[in-house]
Amino acid sequence: MRRRSGSAGVGGGAASRVRLSTGDPRLRALAYQAAALAAVIFVGWYLISNTLANLEARRIASGLGFLGREAGFAIGETSLVPYSAADTYLRAIVVGLANTFRVALIGIVAATVLGTLVGLARLSRNWLVAKLAAGYVEFVRNVPLLVQLFFWYAVITENLPVPREAVEPLPGVFLVNRGIFFPVPAWSAVHGWMLAAFAGGVFAAVAYAWWARRRQARTGRRPPVLAGAAALLLLPPAIVWLAGGAPARLSVPELAGFNFAGGAHLSPEFAALAAGLIVYTASFIAEIVRAGVLSVHHGQFEAASALGLRRGLALRLVVLPQALRAIVPPITSQYLNLTKNSSLAVAIGYPDLVSIANTTINQTGQAIEGIAIIMAVYLTISLAISALMNWYNARIALTER
């Protein structure tokens, strides 16, 4: 009896499983996913085959072989990577990539500093400072970035005088319609050793900060990290500079003919692009900083005040470290936006990656490859920034032990 009932139960269970499988929602979902995947593959195959057929019909060679050919066009911004018209398209694209990195890095650092100051100013107890900061945020955020780039470019090229009538706000600094000229130290071999010493100081400062955290965890006493790190960063280059004879010669811009010679130069295109990106992105960062500070309970201010800390110290030592956990994730998006918005440089003539890639496409006809290079570069930069900021966010996150 037991065997018969058991076999009947097994057969009945198998039959029920078979009946259930025909109407199982998971089976239908799997079928839908397979159909969607097949549709995507078909569309991709159609687009690729159609593109290759059109390229063959128009006798346009595909591939990246054009990168090794001579570019034949000049680039105005080549301070980071030497370049001439006789170089290849690949080197031209590298110049554009370096120019994009240059404006993005400067923009991220400057926008962070300006945005933090404006965000804290919005929380100021001074009515005038708070209202001016609020007016800046509301005005800049609601004007399109492209319009602001045109504004800054017009201010520099149309309102600044010619080199013979240059404005000199500081000794050796000249503002003209051809850009900004300023003095820089004349390069010598000692400066190379100073850079090496500074790099070593960076590693030493990181090691010192790690040791300070370990000592605080072990003894409860924390050494002066900021002062120690600053000394490790600045003292080695200073010692190298003194040991190398303390070279202090400056290369100062001087009027030569119709333009300045010597010193360093920021072109109108770079200055306008950097100013627009910094001012625009800082307005969004200011709101993120303000919201992050307000997310910290007001009792933290009161507790810091009860310990005898002034408002400024309480903000720097107590509130901002806690607010960082709410600030870092959204500020990452602003860093990505600034980097991608730098592609608007083509509108004012700054030779970034997009501008040089467009010139390459116009000369070679390799539109698909050129657009693919642009997409791959910006995707890589965005993923790198996201990974770095996610790592930092994980470092400062609160963990339960």
Sign of CA dihedral 77, 96, 342, 184: negative
Q: How far is residue 148's CA from residue 134's CA, in Å, rounded to a whole number? A: 18
Give me the residue spans of the domains in the chain.
Answer: 20-58, 89-157+266-396
Whether 324 has a pLDDT exceeding 70, the answer reads: yes
pLDDT at 20: 44
pLDDT at 5 over 70: no
Tens of pLDDT, residues 132-168:
999 999 999 999 999 999 999 998 888 888 888 888 8
DSSP state, residue 158: I
What confidence score (pLDDT) does residue 398 get?
61
Answer yes or no: is pLDDT of 17 > 60.
no
Asked if pLDDT for residue 109 goes beyond 90, the answer is yes
Question: What is the mean pLDDT of the segment spanning 35-46?
Answer: 91
* Res. 114: pLDDT tops 90: yes
Which amino acid appears at position 15 of this protein? A
The string of pLDDT tens digits covering residues 65-97 is 788 888 888 888 887 888 888 889 999 999 999
For residues 184 and 191, the answer to whether their CB atoms sit within 8 Å is no
Give whole-number Cα distances, 35 to 26, 27, 29, 30, 129, in Å: 14, 12, 10, 9, 60
Residues 368-396 pLDDT 10s: 888 889 999 999 999 999 999 888 888 77
CA quadruple 339, 340, 341, 343: dihedral positive or negative? positive
pLDDT of residue 375: 92
Name the pLDDT band for 61 (thresholds 50, 70, 90): low
> What are 217-260's pLDDT values in tens digits?
788 777 787 788 888 888 888 898 888 888 878 888 888 777 88
Interval 333-355: pLDDT, tens: 999 999 999 999 989 989 999 99
Burial of 13 (0-12, 13-18, 19+ CB in 10 A): exposed
Which backbone phi and psi does 188 adopt, to 5 degrees? -145, 170
Pairwise CA distance, residues 176 & 183, whole Å: 15
Q: Which amino acid is at 278?
A: I
Global confidence as pTM: 0.77
The one-letter amino acid at 266 = L
What token pair was written down for 203? 């590693």
pLDDT for 21 equals 54
The CATH fold of domain 89-157+266-396: MetI-like fold (1.10.3720)
Write the Ramachandran bin of 63: left for phi over 0, alpha for psi from -120 to 50, otherwise beta: left
| pLDDT band per the 50, 70, 90 thresholds, residue 7 | very low
CA distance 355 to 99: 11
Q: Which of 169-173, 206-210, 241-245, 276-280 has the highest mean pLDDT?
A: 276-280
Dist. CA 174–CA 252, nearest whole Å: 10
Chain CA centroid to CA 381, Å: 8
String of b and e for 154-188 (b: at least 16 CB within 10 Å)? Answer: eebbeebeebeebeeeeebbbbbebbbbbbeeeee
Bin 273: left if φ > 0, else alpha if -120 < ψ < 50, else beta: alpha
Structure confidence by residue, pLDDT tens digits, 187-208: 778 888 888 889 988 898 888 8
Closest to 383 (Cα-Cα) out of 343, 340, 344 = 340
Half-sphere exposure in the Cβ direction for 111 (13 Å, CA) = 30
CA distance 353 to 90: 11
Across all residues in the chain, what is the average pLDDT?
Answer: 84
Q: According to the model, what pLDDT value does residue 8 have?
A: 47
Residue pointed to by tokens 């500020």:
331
Task: Tell me the backbone φ, ψ of residue 83, rounded to 5 degrees.
Answer: -155, 145
Tell whether the model's pLDDT for residue 16 goes beyond 60.
Answer: no
What is the pLDDT, as a whole number, of residue 146? 93
Please report, rounded to a whole number, the percentage of residues in the chain having pLDDT higher than 70. Answer: 91
327 close to 396: Cβ distance less than 8 angstroms? no
Give residue 297's pLDDT. Answer: 80
Distance CA 88, CA 80 (A): 17
